[in-house]
Structure 1
């Protein structure tokens, strides 16, 4: 899998977002690897975008978005789930692209098992439809925030490693730093654009911010839902 140079990601998110469609986002850890062919993303444009986490400037939570492109911005939202973003633009811009949906093309069983953890019924259909399901299928958590995309080394084998100084056996301590990679599609597929899902206030204006990009006809793509006011 060939991950582009970090400079490839240092674009305006409105330019980067459609280039991500059809590409393969992959995360590997000690449990194995899961890869998604991206089918739906949303662009967020920093101080120019009232829907962006970075609209009001840099904080401890969103600091990764102000770093250079080619990194993962992962956050926890609504006290319920994580979300995965790809940092865009040059350092200091606060730009990024939210991964909204994808088709599982590697590690289907692992993704399915991760999605089953908080359910009592078997999942049928798409495993990575919606940002929370994307993160859960990939196994992404806040520990992944700030991870850089890198191509697996030649001969790379997904699986656990034994910490130095520990014997292989029942007492061995297994560790593996998660690795992320992204391979663009040879040619970005045709796409459509429209309003972002669940963005409230001015950033949810469908005519001013039609910054959701998706591949038409893909079953993993979300159904559009406008934002609703949350009760306090």
Structure 2
């Protein structure tokens, strides 16, 4: 299981190979440093068409009990249980009756919080990625936006709760080098009405795969992660 990633181009961080999984302890922290740490990491999934890996370039933090935009703001349910820990597990949910979105749980076990995975740059065979996302107009669109990213990696209800720090998992999170603060930008979260002013969306400056910012509207008034 797993695949070798292509040689990085100029200005790109070294891309890790199999076995360099992110340690769970790096996610068992507050959601804001966890979000910054996830940028540059590589999320890899085994799919029927082959292994697909993306470099994470955009994420969004949702803290939990003090965040009214969070799924777990009103307490623990069967749906949001993964958000309550331990860290390093996928929280996958269905939105708008159309799409799946994926998050990675953070904080200590019992403390709710997660980071929404918003966008990634494809690192593996573009032919496999294109087979999975044939409607994408260009390569930058293959995993631009949380629904497209989840679709590319084949993430659905069956993946809710998967441990991405486990080498035996179908979906694995590889530890890229932490990015310098100068390469990270922050801004408002996308499509939320509550706590919309919080600059808890993090992205890699200059990445063409980062999604277009759209403020929350009537269609987006449901809580996100």
Q: Aligned partners of 1:115, 1:196: CA distance in 2, in Å?
A: 25
CA 39–231 in structure 1, closer or farther in 2 if over 3 Å, else same: closer
Confirm whether residue 84 of structure 1 aligns to residue 75 of structure 2: no
- Structure with the greater alpha carbon radius of gyration: 1
Structure 1 contact 111–137 (Cα < 8 Å) conserved: yes
- Unaligned residue ranges in structure 1 (runs of 5+): 154-177
Structure 2 contact 43–173 (Cα < 8 Å) conserved: yes
Q: 1:182 aligns with which of 162, 173, 187?
A: 173
- The number of equivalent residue pairs is 200
Q: Aligned partners of 1:26, 1:3: CA distance in 2, in Å?
A: 10
TM-score using structure 1 length: 0.81
Confirm whether residue 203 of structure 1 aligns to residue 217 of structure 2: no
Q: Aligned partners of 2:33, 2:190: CA distance in 1, in Å?
A: 19
- Unaligned residue ranges in structure 2 (runs of 5+): 1-17
The corresponding residue for 1:11 is 29
Deviations for 1:76-126, whole angstroms, at most 9, x for unmatched residues? 11101000101101112110000000001014222222222xx4xx63242
Q: Aligned partners of 2:111, 2:125: CA distance in 1, in Å?
A: 34
Which contiguous aligned blocks of 4+ residues in structure 1 show a shift greater than 4 angstroms? none
TM-score using structure 2 length: 0.83
The corresponding residue for 1:124 is 138
Confirm whether residue 73 of structure 1 aligns to residue 88 of structure 2: no
Structure 1 contact 150–179 (Cα < 8 Å) conserved: no
Aligned-CA RMSD value: 1.9
